[in-house]
Amino acid sequence: MPARRRASFRIGVTGLGERQEIAPGVFINTAYRGCTPGFVVTDEGLILIDTPLIPKQAKDWRKQIEAELQGLPLLYVFNTDHHRGHALGNQYFLPTTVIAHERAFKEMSGYTENFKERVYNSFKREPDIQEQLTEIEIILPDVTFTDSARLQYGGREVKLIYVGGHTPATSIAWLPKEKIAFVGDILWVDQHPYMAQADSLEWIEALRRIRSLGAEMLVPGHGPVCSPDDTEKVEEYIRYKRQRVRDYYRSGKTKNEAKSGLVGEMLELFPVPLDRKAKIESQIKSGINRVYREIQREEELASAELGNGAFPPPISAPVLVREQPADANLVPSPETLPAPPISKSEQNGGREVEQEAKL
């Protein structure tokens, strides 16, 4: 790693936010909408993690990155998932090689004109941003992977690891020497996780995997750096949501009843700014929707395994126990794993890609 680097924690004063050097040659910026982007300096070029959604911020980020370039190329842009907050700014970092999970490629391939229009319309209350969004260009990943990939450049090692959970594409960037992991939207600190494309059981497993890396610092998809301990709260949240949805399911309540019945209590779990309440509520509901389908699948499977054909199973029926204490080994046995996550894009012809976070 370059010796000239000096660790510092500069806090933004420009309104756009200055980069923070969280370890020598490893930078992030927490001032942008949509994601906390980062980059890693190597002797051969830079590796970027995620790109800001708002064009003005993406251009600002590019300027800040260029200050560290010193004639080196932008080697890669890695998108932790395909959501607009992480990948829509790719166009401002060319020329480079965009790398992401195979599923991210698939989802982004569905970003049609209609998707662009939705992005544009989602900022109708912020005309200054809307003005900037007139020329959205989708830059698809050039390189994809399914399980993991290793970027080894100029004395740096960056491992890209698929973890799933948040989306079928969610992957993290792990710097083993620096003990820093960019974990994308797997980790939300004191915020409601966005779960509209989630597999909750896989998410819990992803958090366990992240804890097992031995990281000293985590960079979440949104917000400032945090520690592996911060994964506990979001896990509790997901477990709680699963348990409550299961309660509703077992008492014969429909998906819509679960949504309207649970949204209030879920809302209490993390602070929500008044002006974002409606948006968060709708995100919580789409998460409940997703989890309900999962629970339904699990309960049907459990019921079938019991051979009693009961549907829904009676409340007192012995069911497949998936909820375990936070410190338990969370790896579900293969036979109890639910079916692989099915994105809505597979289920409804590509509309899911347009229903992602508008953060």
- For 193-217, letters b (16+ CB in 10 Å) and e give bbbbbbbbbbbbbbbbbbbebebeb
Residue 194 CA neighbour count, 13 Å, CB half = 20
What does each C-alpha distance from 17 to 10, 104, 252, 358 come to in angstroms? 9, 28, 50, 20
Q: How far is residue 121's CA from residue 80's CA, in Å, rounded to a whole number?
A: 24
Nearest to Zn ion of 92, 188 (CB atom):
188
Nearer to Zn ion, 282 or 336 (CB): 282
CB–CB of 326/236 below 8 Å? yes
Shortest Cβ 139–Zn ion spacing (Å): 17
In whole angstroms, how close is the CB of 192 to Zn ion at the nearest point? 13
The residue (of 25 and 287) whose beta carbon lies closer to Zn ion is 287
Least Å distance, CB 244 to Zn ion, is 23
For Zn ion, the binding residues (CB under 5 A) are: 81, 83, 185
Cα gap 75→156, rounded to integer Å: 12
Burial 257-272 (b: 16+ CB within 10 A, else e): ebbebbbeebeeebeb
Token code pair at residue 340: 């692989």
Type of residue found at 347: Q
Choice between 83 and 106, CB closer to Zn ion: 83
Kindly tell me which of 60 and 81 has the beta carbon lying closer to Zn ion: 81
Of 25 and 38, the one with the shorter C-beta distance to Zn ion is 38
* CB nearer Zn ion, residue 197 or residue 303: 197
**Closest CB 346 distance from Zn ion, rounded Å:** 18
CB of residue 82 to Zn ion, shortest distance in Å: 8
Q: How far is the CB of 81 from Zn ion (least distance, A)?
A: 4
Rounded least distance, CB 140 to Zn ion, Å: 17
Select 185 or 235, whichever has its Cβ closest to Zn ion.
Answer: 185
Nearest to 206 by CA among 293, 67, 330: 330
**Minimum distance from CB of 53 to Zn ion (Å)?**
11
Residue 85: both structure tokens together: 């907050």
